[in-house]
């Protein structure tokens, strides 16, 4: 798995003060670079992809991102018996908690629990008000023990960054300390917003797209992730 840390500086963002506000601090963002991801991202971007295929491929992409986001988890060793002798075994040292942001984040959970079946799963319900683009909370149910866990917050889209920032603020208020934010498509505006409010949180994404349109959608993007996962688009 090849990993690239994006050094972010686009000339047009440096000349436009509005866009400059969205300029991410590069060191927090990892774009996972893999041919399978690029192929799958194209399937997700394609407007003709039916929702069943979209949901399946989004799960596969999430698994690759989860694998990469979990790369530096700590291990604890223990003695185990093979059929032949005693050797050193390894287990994850820290508990893993996955927190999808509803609805679209639900589509990513299977990808995480494929590699960490022991993970506990919390849920944060938020939707983006269409006119203000501000996140609105409507549900919260997270496990206890946030303080000592590695917490993976999952949402396919990081657009303005309002939802991700709100979710992390909520989880920190509940005691969480160690986070990764994992998304599929990130916009520079969202990365910048999240980095400013939560500079301690690393972001993993499959792509950093060009930016937001006037309605707050990521371009080129993949459309409304929740609608495409659940087949609720018009």
Residues of this chain that bind ligand URA (CB under 6 A): 104, 157, 159, 217-218, 221, 224-226
Q: Which of 28, 30, 49, 160 contacts ligand PRP by CB under 6 A?
A: 160
Q: Does 155 bind ligand PRP (CB under 6 A)?
A: yes
d(CA 39, CA 67): 17
Report CA torsion sign: 163, 164, 170, 174. Answer: positive
Q: Which of 96, 159, 186, 206 contacts ligand PRP by CB under 6 A?
A: 159
- 97 to 136, contacts with ligand PRP by CB under 6 A? 101, 103-104, 126-128, 133, 135
Size of interface with ligand PRP, in residues (CB under 6 A): 23
- 180 to 209, contacts with ligand PRP by CB under 6 A? 190
Q: How distant, in Å, are the alpha carbons of 43, 61, 71, 122, 145 from that of 148?
A: 37, 27, 18, 15, 6
Q: Binding partner of residue 103 among ligand URA, ligand PRP, none, CB under 5 to 8 Å per kind? A: ligand PRP
Position of minimal CB gap to ligand PRP: 226
CB of 186 to ligand PRP, least distance (A): 9
Paired strand residues for 78: 89
Question: Using an 8 Å Cβ cutoff, are 125 and 139 in contact?
Answer: yes
Q: Binding partner of residue 189 among ligand URA, ligand PRP, none, CB under 5 to 8 Å per kind? A: none
Q: Binding partner of residue 163 among ligand PRP, ligand URA, none, CB under 5 to 8 Å per kind? A: ligand PRP
d(CA 98, CA 167): 12
Our CA angle for 157, 53, 50, nearest 5°, is 90
Cα 77 to the center of its chain, rounded Å: 29
Q: Does 62 bind ligand PRP (CB under 6 A)?
A: no
Question: Using an 8 Å Cβ cutoff, are 203 and 194 in contact?
Answer: yes
CB of 43 to ligand URA, least distance (A): 16
């Amino acid at each position: 798995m090849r990993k690239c840390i994006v050094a972010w500086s686009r000339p047009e963002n440096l000349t436009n003060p509005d866009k400059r506000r969205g300029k991410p601090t590069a060191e927090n963002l990892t774009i996972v670079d893999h041919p399978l991801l690029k192929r799958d991202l194209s399937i997700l971007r394609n407007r003709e992809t039916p929702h069943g295929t979209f949901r399946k491929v989004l799960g596969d992409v999430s698994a690759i991102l989860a694998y990469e986001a979990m790369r530096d988890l700590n291990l604890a060793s223990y003695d185990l018996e093979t059929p032949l002798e005693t050797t050193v075994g390894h287990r994850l040292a820290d508990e893993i908690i996955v927190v999808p942001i509803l609805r679209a984040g639900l589509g990513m959970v299977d990808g995480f629990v494929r590699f960490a079946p022991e993970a506990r799963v919390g849920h944060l319900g938020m939707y983006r008000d269409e006119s203000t683009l501000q996140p609105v909370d409507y549900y919260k149910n997270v496990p206890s023990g946030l303080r000592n866990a590695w917490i993976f917050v999952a949402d396919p889209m990081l657009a303005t960054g309002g939802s991700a920032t709100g979710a992390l603020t909520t989880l920190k208020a509940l005691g969480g300390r160690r986070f990764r934010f994992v998304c599929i498509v990130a916009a520079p505006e969202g990365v910048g917003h999240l980095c400013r409010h939560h500079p301690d949180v690393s972001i993993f994404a499959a792509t950093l797209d060009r930016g937001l349109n006037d309605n707050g959608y990521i371009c080129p993007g993949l459309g409304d992730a929740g609608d495409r996962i659940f087949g609720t688009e018009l």
